[in-house]
Every structure is written in structure tokens, then in C-alpha cells.
Amino acid sequence: MLSSKTKDAAAQKTLNDPRWQQVLARDSQADGQFYYSVKTTGVYCRPSCGARLARPENVEFHLTTNNWDQSKLIFHTTLTQLIIDFERRSS
């Protein structure tokens, strides 16, 4: 478990990053410029993602998806689309 000091430092790093403001605004113009991942869920998203916002201390920013371990991170909108497709087929 991370110490309070470590969590505070991680949160401050995110809060000071201008990309965080784009995430808060769900800025679709920032899509493709960067992605962010959530350490606690293993999900990564575009800035415009409509999912509940993560705590700043759990967020990491990335320029591309090329170097991620795909087995550990799930692109949120892809997962959402799979759920929608499943529900349509089930009804």
C-alpha cells in the first residue's frame, strides 16, 4: 500500500499536468494527443471518455498506446462497446 506522502505526490503530479484539465473538461479535441491510464482499474481512456473520473493519484498520462502491456490495460470505450453489443444480442 502506498504511503500518504506518495499518494499526495502522485496526485500533485497529475493536478499540475495541463492534460488533467483536458480530462476534467472531457475535451474531445485532445483525443489522439494523449491517453491516460488508471492504475487501480487497469483501464486506459481518451481525454473525452465519459467514465467516472479517477482519483488524480491513480492517473498516468501516455503519448501512445504502443508500449503498454495490452494484457493488463483495457481500452475503456472498447470494453463499453463490447458490453453494449452483448446486451443487444441478449435482448
How confident is residue 12, by pLDDT bands cut at 50, 70 and 90?
very high
pTM for the model stands at: 0.73
| Dist CA 57 CA 90 (whole Å) | 38
* Residue 72, pLDDT above cutoff 80: no
Domain residue spans of the chain = 4-90
Topology of domain 4-90, per CATH?
Answer: DNA Methylphosphotriester Repair Domain (3.40.10)
Q: How far apart are CA 75 and CA 91, in angstroms?
A: 25
